[in-house]
Amino acid sequence: MAYLVLARKWRPQTFADVVGQEPVVRTLRNGLARNRVAHAMIFSGVRGVGKTTLARIMAKALNCTGETEDKPCNVCESCREITAGNAVDLQEIDGASNRGIQEIRELKENIRFFPTKCRFKVIIIDEVHMLTTEAFNALLKTLEEPPEHVYFMFATTELHKVPITILSRCQRYELKRVSFVDLVAFFAKIAAREQVEISRRAIEMIAREADGSIRDGLSLLDQIFSFGGQRVTDEDVVQVLGLVDQQIFAHLARSLLAGDLAQCFDLLEKTYVAGIDLKRFATDLLAYLRALLICRTSPRPEALLEVSDQELAELRQLSGGHSPETLSMLFQLLFKGMSEMQYSAHPRLVLEMAFIKAVQAGQVTPAAALLARLDEMIKAGGGPQALPTAAPAAKEPEKPAVAAPQKPPAPPLPGGKTTIVPETPALADAEPELDSKVKKLEALVEKIAEPKNREKKGDGLASQTHAKDVRKNWDSFVAYVKERKPWMAQVLKLCENPREEEGKLLIRFDNPSDCTLLQGPEHVKDLSVYVLDFFQKDLRVRISGRADKAGEQGEAVLDGPKEERRALANDPLVQITVDVFGGQVGAIRTGPRFR
């Protein structure tokens, strides 16, 4: 016997067999019971949800001569003929290939005659939206006054393409996408009847892939059953469907959120080597990130997601550790990457770029939370003195002794002692990453407050007393450097007449080649640190050879705006802004404000 594909073998023959269309089925049954069935009806919905199947069941029910109350009986001659596809009075037309006026004229000619065997003639036109305007117009007349012995049943995936004049003459039935839960249950039943051993997880993968369409799901089952035989493994399903195991997405999302770029690249490499289509991969990854975001923000994520209970628990666990803002940022960046991939000849590079951006963006803390925190600190008279209290308090947010969550912070005490209201436990639970951000912020506030405090406390004087004169102490400085970097001390010994000038330490060499090595940026940086530590002065180190004296002039001029820009980028206020809004410093432009 020829192999019958599952979609045909298991096509529902009664209303009770129909999967996932309860409201429509109930209405149709009621109409039959009360003898109130319209002579024209239209079934709409995405492909494979059972539009023509329902039309056929309806045709059987209308013509059923069985004794049962629940029609169709499926045993009377009429029912059997229709099931077998031999009923002369049931005409099925494919609207896509019979779309002209000529076909409709023939049809009209045909329905003038009474049915040969059945009670009614039933005309099913599939993809009815494909008919031409002339064909629709020709049909319209018939629909206005349909003969008593004829029923029209239309099916369409694109209801909006059917003229309103036609729609207004039909009873409309909108079929829904079949739910994930219904699909899983149905496919599991088919597998059991076909005596195929297959895991729940594999069935779920197929149901997810079917995306609401029973027919699509059944053809996938067909493929998988013929691939795996009576025992289908999860790997079979992954392979046949060209799917990526959901675990990879969980792993990848976790790595992105943890900022582990190496791991992300590694996972991408594995996917690439496995020959998986990267655009498809990115789409699936995005679906996973969407699931995370929904889990984090929706009170009932299960209503919006096609996931099993176990997957839902995993999604909850992962999303719970991050702010909605972080998840949303990740989603947006990946979405942008995916859109760019569609037009790129190098999808892998684009995806990698998206990973880099996502990792750089890191964790996002809601601006409102940070600003509120900043307000608190300012109100509390937040200065450097307050910070030591704040740090331990933030570490132990549960401690009730210091917690004063809802109240405004206490005013500064006369003795200059201030306290900072610690993180409220609830907030700390919700935003675990907030702590470190706040600490950073506190450090920045301290930085801003620093210069003023120094003046007040007379720190400037203190630093003067600790500061050492460059010329007098040069030899001790070289000795100091020698303990840390012997070669650098050797080079420094060669310089002539080092001197301090307008906040700069000028180190000149007779022979330019003597200082080439020392001029390397990382060495200049080290040297600057030694200078600061030893002389207790914040001096900019300038190294030059005699030959490029003229060049040094030029260098100094060039250095000006560069330094200015660097200072701008490092400005505490700019850094706070960057932190608060989770951004990066891009191009810095100085000069006349209005050009």
Query: Least distance from C-beta 33 to Zn ion, angstroms?
Result: 15
* Residues sharing a CB contact under 8 Å with residue 423, sequence separation 6 or more, in sequence order: 393, 394, 397, 434, 435, 438
Question: What gap in Å lies between CA 441 and CA 447, rounded to an integer?
Answer: 10
φ, ψ of residue 155 to 5 degrees: the values are -130, 140
The DSSP H or E segment spanning 41 is: strand 40-44
Nearest-approach distance from CB 287 to Zn ion, in angstroms: 44
Contact between 35 and 61 under an 8 Å Cβ cutoff? The reply is: no
Q: 409-417: long-range contacts (C-beta < 8 A, 24 or more apart)?
A: 409/376, 409/379, 409/380, 410/380, 411/381, 412/380, 412/381, 416/385, 417/385
The sign one gets for the Cα dihedral 337, 338, 339, 340 is: positive
Closer CB to Zn ion, 87 or 327, in the complex:
87
Q: Which is nearer to Zn ion, 66 or 412 (CB)?
A: 66
With respect to Zn ion, which residue has the nearer C-beta, 76 or 377? 76
Q: Which residue, 59 or 64, is less far from Zn ion as judged by CB? A: 64
Shortest distance in whole angstroms from residue 69 CB to Zn ion: 12
Report the sign of the C-alpha dihedral through residues 328, 333, 334, 338, in that order: positive
Torsion angle of the four alpha carbons 354, 356, 360, 361, in this order, in degrees rounded to the nearest 10: 10
Least separation in angstroms between CB 70 and Zn ion = 10
CA triplet 53, 55, 56: central angle to 5 degrees? Answer: 65
- For Zn ion, the closer CB: 14 or 332: 14
Q: How far is the CB of 79 from Zn ion (least distance, A)?
A: 3
72 or 95, CB closer to Zn ion? 72
Q: Which CB sits closer to Zn ion, 68 or 298? A: 68
Q: Which residues bind Zn ion (CB under 5 A)?
A: 64, 66, 72-73, 76, 79
CB half-sphere exposure, 318, CA atoms < 13 A = 24
Shortest CB 82 distance to Zn ion, Å: 9
In the bound state with Zn ion, the residue whose beta carbon lies nearer, of 64 and 350, is 64
Amino acid making up residue 124: I
Residue pair 49/21 in contact by the 8 Å Cβ criterion? yes
Distance of closest approach, residue 19 Cβ to Zn ion, in angstroms: 22
CB of 92 to Zn ion, least distance (A): 19
Per-residue tokens: 396: 């132990």
